Structure 1
Amino acid sequence: MELIVYAPFAASALLAVSGPRLAARMPPATGTRLLLTAGLACALTSLLSLALLAATLIGRLPLVAAVGAWSGDRLRHADPVSPLTAKTAILTLATIAIALVWTAARRARALHRARHASARLGPRTGRLAVLDQPAIEAFAVPAGRGQQGRIVVSTGMLRTLNAEERQVLLAHETAHLDHRHHRHRTLAALITAADPLLAPLPAAIHHLTERWADEDAAATVTDRSLTARALARAALAARHDERPSPRSAVLCFGRSDVPGRVRALLAGTPARRPVIVAVLTAALTACLVSAAEAGNDTAHLFGRARHGYHARPLGITAATTHEARHLITVLDHRTDGSR
């Protein structure tokens, strides 16, 4: 286990730089799924690499060595990972665990608040709810499993668009609900929390899901120019709206990279890119293989350490006592040095 254990980190950095650009060149539905799959694989293999690096130091503890039935001393001599690297891996894993819990809680809280606010709009008579207010606003609020979400549109938005453009808006928001794009965005946020090297992923997935809904709307009204015009008109009307953007749990119309989305609509239906898919798939496979190889190397390392265990067997109770005595000795030396 030497350089190969760091391969997932290199793959994550490479995906962060090139992944969004490659995904933007293919149909947005394909790009979204492929980018999320690659990001999830990089995050999981990076976590595995961190765990392998941390295990080399944790395995040296007398109590852990006694439970695992291997020699901590032999593991220390055979281990190619420096203690500083292993300690950094342990600290990184602890930080990632906190980030994952915080991100999941924040997303769940935002979704709960959005659904609660949607329920206060009145009894459900369908997907569409109209707000009697001049603000230019339209967004979709996802619902729970087995339920339909809700499309919320202000009267200010309805007055801004003509009848055909309103069809585009409703088709766009319906696509968000039907495809459950809030789950794609939540997964992207969790992947980034697990692998900070993939920081550009949430913004890329946000853009791709908006493009996905744009393409569905264009297919529904069978007019790409009309879809682009409705999107541009809504964005221009909301340009002077000083209110903050809605929470991450809702999916808005005309609020994200409108110029790029309009250009993509006017450029025509995106072509399939089998070469890009093949390249990303090959890179993903190489990342998984490298992680598996690093795991095998670590298993062999602990296997060699287990061969030396019979020379000095140590029970769990004795290991705990030995660990406590070692800690007391270290503290005594530090106390004497400070005097």
Structure 2
Amino acid sequence: MRVIVYLPFVVSALLAIAGPRLARRMPPRTGTRLLLTAALGCAVTVLLTLGLLAWTLIARLPLVAAVGAWSGDHLHHHDPVPAPAAKAACVTLAALACALAFATARRLRALHHVRREARRLGDGHLVVMDEPGIEAFAVPTRDEQGGRIVVSTGMLRTLTDDERRVLLAHETAHLSHRHHRHRTLATLIAAANPILVTLPAAVHHLTERWADEDAAATTDDRRLAARALARAALAAHEDKRRTSPGDAVLCFGEAGVGDRVRALLADTPRRRPAIAALLLALLTAALLSTAEAGHDSAQQLDQARDQYHARPIGVSAATLHEARHLAAVVEHHLHH
């Protein structure tokens, strides 16, 4: 394999640094989707690259070489991937598998918890809690309504009638666009590719901006939407009784309120084809490098098969022979 095999790691780093900034300059709906698409492609290519690097070590094992009918010695002498890099890839793949499983379980548990709490609140789409605290959030569910909008009486007293319309439009946008799925995907991508550590926060901010823009369009008043957001955020900040309902719900008046208010006071975001093309170019580079690495790996295996000296014994016997050889090599290393 050539040095190009490591390109997905470079692309992931570039996307983690520049991706969120580029996405914020686009309409939030487009920015969210493009950023997630590019990040998902980077995560897949990084995992495939690690698999290819690990395979260069696994393919050299006598047992694997015997079953695959290729020369392990040829791969050992002609593969440019250093053994430490291949071993590190094996360990990294195992660690990422555990991290992804843990992140999936944690997210599913959080969603299950909030949905169970939503069922206790009642069957209505809008639930008003008789609480003085400043609370407003959306809880995604699997029913026809798509979720519950939960608002406290303290929040309703804080806002005017028009500002309440903004709040309800904002939370409705979260539910109708299933923003919890975008955030879940971002969390899982970051678990599978830790280089993209900035992705979950970026997607969280973009989905909030997406809901802000929907609320501004619904009320046809961007300044009203900005005022409602600022008033709710200020009241929530001053409310000492307020506690976070968890990362599986979609809250109003949180996550980068200052930037969101400034965006609402500005003009509607314009489409930026150049940024979209740049994000897609990064994704294409990662995909092409992985495809080229896979092609190189296939060529090496073909050459190793050509060097393989067929034995007049079956695969099972050859495997037994290689197993005995491997045991002898291990015993030799243990004694020395």
TM-score (norm 1): 0.95
Deviation at 1:145, TM superposition (A): 6.5
Q: Quick check: 72-81 or 106-115, which moved more?
A: 72-81
Amino acid at match of 1:200: T
Deviation at 1:324, TM superposition (A): 4.8
Q: Structure 2 vs 1, CA of residues 333 and 11 (structure 1 numbering), >3 Å: closer, same or farther? A: closer
Q: Structure 1 residue runs of 4+, over 6 Å off?
A: none
Deviation at 1:280, TM superposition (A): 1.6
Q: Structure 2 vs 1, CA of residues 165 and 234 (structure 1 numbering), >3 Å: closer, same or farther? A: same
Identical-pair percentage: 64
Contact 2:66 2:322 in 1 (8 A): no
CA distance in 1, matches of 2:317, 2:144: 53
Which runs of structure 2 are paired with 1:102-141 in the superposition (5 Å)? Answer: 102-122=102-122, 124-125=123-124, 127-141=125-139
1:66 maps to 2:45: no
CA distance in 2, matches of 1:152, 1:186: 21
CA distance in 2, matches of 1:138, 1:324: 67
Deviation at 1:86, TM superposition (A): 0.4
Alignment correspondent of 1:287:
286
Which runs of structure 2 are paired with 1:89-238 in the superposition (5 Å)? Answer: 89-122=89-122, 124-125=123-124, 127-144=125-142, 146-238=144-236
CA distance in 2, matches of 1:333, 1:186: 47
SS at match of 1:73: helix
**5+ long unaligned stretches in structure 2:** none
SS at match of 1:144: coil
Figure out how many residues of one structure are paired with residues of the other and give that number.
Answer: 334
Alignment correspondent of 2:85:
85
SS at match of 2:149: strand
CA distance in 1, matches of 2:296, 2:52: 10
Q: Structure 2 vs 1, CA of residues 228 and 252 (structure 1 numbering), >3 Å: closer, same or farther? A: same
Amino acid at match of 2:105: A
CA distance in 2, matches of 1:264, 1:247: 26
Amino acid at match of 2:305: R
Deviation at 1:287, TM superposition (A): 1.7
CA distance in 2, matches of 1:25, 1:317: 63
Q: CA RMSD in A?
A: 1.5
Amino acid at match of 2:248: A
Which runs of structure 2 are paired with 1:253-332 in the superposition (5 Å)? Answer: 253-312=252-311, 315-327=315-327, 329-331=329-331
Deviation at 1:61, TM superposition (A): 1.1
Amino acid at match of 1:4: I
Deviation at 1:291, TM superposition (A): 1.1
SS at match of 1:86: helix
CA distance in 2, matches of 1:160, 1:317: 80
Contact 2:29 2:210 in 1 (8 A): yes
SS at match of 2:231: helix
Alignment correspondent of 2:246:
247
